[in-house]
Structure 1
Amino acid sequence: MPQNMWNLLVERSGWFAGLAGEHLTLSAIAIAVAIVVGGLAGLLISQATKAAKPTLAVVNFLYTIPSISMLGLLIPFSGVGNVTAVIALIIYALLPMVRSTYTGLTNIEPGIIEAARGMGSTEGQIMRKIRIPLAMPVIMSGIRSMATMTIALTGIASFIGAGGLGVAIYRGITTNNMAMTMDGSLLVAILALVVDFVLGVVERRAQMRSAKARCANRRALIVVAAIVAALVAIGLARSCAPTRATIRVATKPMTEQYIMGNMLKELIEQDTDLNVDLTTGVGGGTSNIAPAMESGNYDIYPEYTGTAWAQVLHRSDPYDEGRFGELTDTYKNDLHMSWVGMYGFNDTFGIVVRREVADRYGLRSYSDLARVSSQLSFGAEYDFFERADGYRAFCDAYGMSFANTIDLDIGLKYQALAEGQMDVMVVFTTDGQLSAADATILTDDRGFFPSYLCGNVVRDQVLEEHPELRAVLTKLNGTITDGDMAQMNYEVESEGRPPEDVAREYLQEKGLLS
């Protein structure tokens, strides 16, 4: 494993460096805002003592909300992406900042304050020259803890498409690439330790009181201010520079979606003058991407017909491809989006059972499974249990009642099945690991699961502004079979190949990419 981690880190150093830069940017913004807002809040409640308890109670309450829940609460208001991630990080960073500032300012020896007042100092002078300097060690300790925690927590930002090293962690889990997950986790830890070390140096220097030290501190502050100013100037220059129009492509947290996202990026950037901003692995899949498409946060994403029918259009009646025209018309009229570029493969759901369990009970079909379901455990990714065409509808159709259910990430299902943590699980028919799994695929003898042909959903406004996109996306019609997709997934999940390389190679084989 260490050798694999090192090789991957060297081979994809540019990619990891980019993610680390995104990670630091998100963390730095949240830390800076939390220092200002939390510091001011702590200062105010140290003076208005009646407001201290309710303020700390509110901040404490916000801190107890699980990070996934916090993101879910914020998405309806601020959408997916960087803004929501930064807001969530700021909220979590406020508690240690407010508490340390309040504690530092209120735990100063009262005799010192009384002596200052007796010498004629104003409250403002006491705050600037006595309270804040004496409280600084406690405040700096809070800042160090808050900064370390924020950098670690920023990994969750990738769940809503905000970037950072969480992308490597989450993609590694999804694609069965443990080296990628470990590299991402290690880099997060290194960033946190480096920031903690730097803040420790700052803390120690701030406590030095000699004239020479104060002079050195002022010089250091000037250098830091100059560096920050230079970075801001560079950022402004880049933002003001003319750039190509950008198409924002999103994908779900699935191996094949990573591959298709990179196919779209390669083709669009080759055949047009457009730039592609690719956001891979948006947590929650359709439930988060579809609203983001409606609000204009994303322009294109690969979707499945059966999923669109049930989850986006909220239709409970059965779907088959004979109703594709009805599906596309509804998208066009109600959502102002079009389906362009139907890949050709059908990634429908399937049910597999551990081979030992299937042999023991003689299971070959879903109806066979219904006879013994009460003795077995069922596992699936989180959204399957909430889909209109998911767990409850499936159990009702076949009269099943499992002994217990297990929610887990899509990238961990096969490992959990192999380890015997569950007996039955839902799969996708194009899963790369399916052919190598020690499992029996059951027959859907009542045809419960609908068709899930894959195609691209595009906002009509984008097609109107960039009509050249339609020709590019149409090239993808019928280019991928079920077997092709399963093979590409296998290369990523079992052979450890990057989705970018697999996507590029396949397009070249099909003559679509030079």
Structure 2
Amino acid sequence: MAKAAAGGNGRCHRRCVMKGRIFRRTCACLMSSALLLVGCTSARVASRGQGVPQDVIRIASFNFPESEILAYVYGLALQGQGFRVDIRPNIGTRELVEPALSRGLVDFVPEYQGSALAFFTLGKLRASADVDTTYRSLVAALAGRQVLALSPSPAQDGNAIAVTRRTADRYGLHSISDLTRVAGRLRFGGPPECPQRPFCLLGLQQRYGLAFEQFIPLDSGGPLTLQALESGEIDVALLFSTDPSIAAGDVVELKDDRRLQPAENVTPFVREDVLERGGASLARAIEKVSAHLSTDVLRTLNARASDQKPRGIAETWLRDQGLLEMNHV
């Protein structure tokens, strides 16, 4: 489940870490379908032969707000450094965006380590909780695809096992292991497929020995789960680590002390030819942005998405960080 839960919140496309033959067959089918569906994106991601200048870097995002914000963060920062960019937000799911990147319809996608690794290996390789190990596996998986993964940022958007501040204080909960002594009295909420997922209830039982009093099926880390947690309908929830409610302080993310969840660091995927044309200055500019990102930063930016547009959110943050140096926005 980590980035694996199939839910209805618009983010499930990068949470496709399942096991076994069915997963591989499904992903293979999705990737084959994607090659047909890439044509549907042609109105939004033009090829070089359709009048897009050779020096323009086409930056695409997935179809959820955090990804759109990241596309603008990287794109506007590069524009501020004098690079020509064409930012195309909300292109679609990974099954559309990654084939477009591989075929040269777009040049740059801010990705998520573990989910990308599962996608490109059809689930044969599972991401490690270790960022460096996962990155090495990802680099190997991309070999021969004309796409390079640059250094991962410190920012992660992965699974978070969370409780309310009141529950944490009542039971002295700081880590997932602390749930062992009280899980039998607590109700767990998550997506319907959670009991069968290796990074959800199945993994929690196998890695931590947790057996909750009741499982309540909800959505995939979305508003239904958060509302149920805050109202007391459930005691423990599967959320995303960049959920703004965690930053607000009323929701506590429990430390994954036995390292169940895979690394899901934001990682820039860039086409090799674009990096060759841009040279070392392009790679440095991208990695400078990555170095400024963190999980807390993504929580803050996501909190603004309820009443601000992704471009404005990105521009304000970049200006605060001094990353709009030439103000070409």
After TM superposition, the score normalised by the length of structure 1 is 0.46
Secondary structure of 1:457's match? strand
**How far apart, in 1, do the equivalents of 2:139 and 2:113 lie?**
13
Q: Which has the higher strand share?
A: 2
Give me the identity figure in percent.
25
Conserved 8 A contact 1:341-1:476: no
Unaligned 5+ runs, structure 2 = 1-27
| Equivalent residue number for residue 447 of structure 1 | 259
| Equivalent residue number for residue 33 of structure 2 | 77
| Equivalent residue number for residue 14 of structure 2 | none
**How far apart, in 2, do the equivalents of 1:383 and 1:300 lie?**
32
Secondary structure of 2:247's match? coil
Q: Which has the higher helix share?
A: 1
Alignment of 1:394 onto 2:185: no
Alignment of 1:250 onto 2:60: yes
| Equivalent residue number for residue 476 of structure 1 | 289
**How far apart, in 2, do the equivalents of 1:382 and 1:250 lie?**
30
> Against the structure 1 CA distance between its residues 377 and 289, is the aligned structure 2 distance closer, same or farther, given a 3 Å change threshold?
farther
Conserved 8 A contact 2:74-2:289: no
> Against the structure 1 CA distance between its residues 422 and 288, is the aligned structure 2 distance closer, same or farther, given a 3 Å change threshold?
farther
Unaligned 5+ runs, structure 1 = 1-71, 86-160, 164-238
After TM superposition, the score normalised by the length of structure 2 is 0.68
Aligned 1:360-375 pairs, distance under 5 A: 363-375=173-185
Residue 261 of structure 1 deviates from its aligned partner by 1.1
Residue 397 of structure 1 deviates from its aligned partner by 0.8
Conserved 8 A contact 2:63-2:89: no
Larger radius of gyration: 1
Aligned 1:49-60 pairs, distance under 5 A: none
| Equivalent residue number for residue 90 of structure 2 | 280
Match of 1:501 among 312, 315, 324: 312
Secondary structure of 2:92's match? coil
One-letter code of the match for 2:272? D
One-letter code of the match for 1:478? A
Alignment of 1:260 onto 2:70: yes
Secondary structure of 1:249's match? strand
One-letter code of the match for 2:301? M
| Equivalent residue number for residue 15 of structure 2 | none
**How far apart, in 1, do the equivalents of 2:204 and 2:92 lie?**
26
**How far apart, in 1, do the equivalents of 2:34 and 2:137 lie?**
28
**How far apart, in 2, do the equivalents of 1:265 and 1:382 lie?**
36
**How far apart, in 2, do the equivalents of 1:436 and 1:385 lie?**
29
- Alpha-carbon RMSD: 4.0
Residue 325 of structure 1 deviates from its aligned partner by 5.9
Secondary structure of 1:448's match? coil
| Equivalent residue number for residue 434 of structure 1 | 246
Conserved 8 A contact 1:344-1:480: yes
Q: Deviations over 1:350-374 (max 9, x none)?
A: 2112445555655443233244445
**How far apart, in 2, do the equivalents of 1:464 and 1:383 lie?**
43
| Equivalent residue number for residue 487 of structure 1 | 300
One-letter code of the match for 1:344? P
Conserved 8 A contact 2:114-2:263: yes
Conserved 8 A contact 1:301-1:456: yes
Alignment of 1:320 onto 2:130: yes
One-letter code of the match for 1:429? S
Residue 260 of structure 1 deviates from its aligned partner by 1.0
Aligned 1:215-230 pairs, distance under 5 A: none
Alignment of 1:299 onto 2:299: no
Q: Which has the higher contact order (CA 8 A, sep 6+)?
A: 2
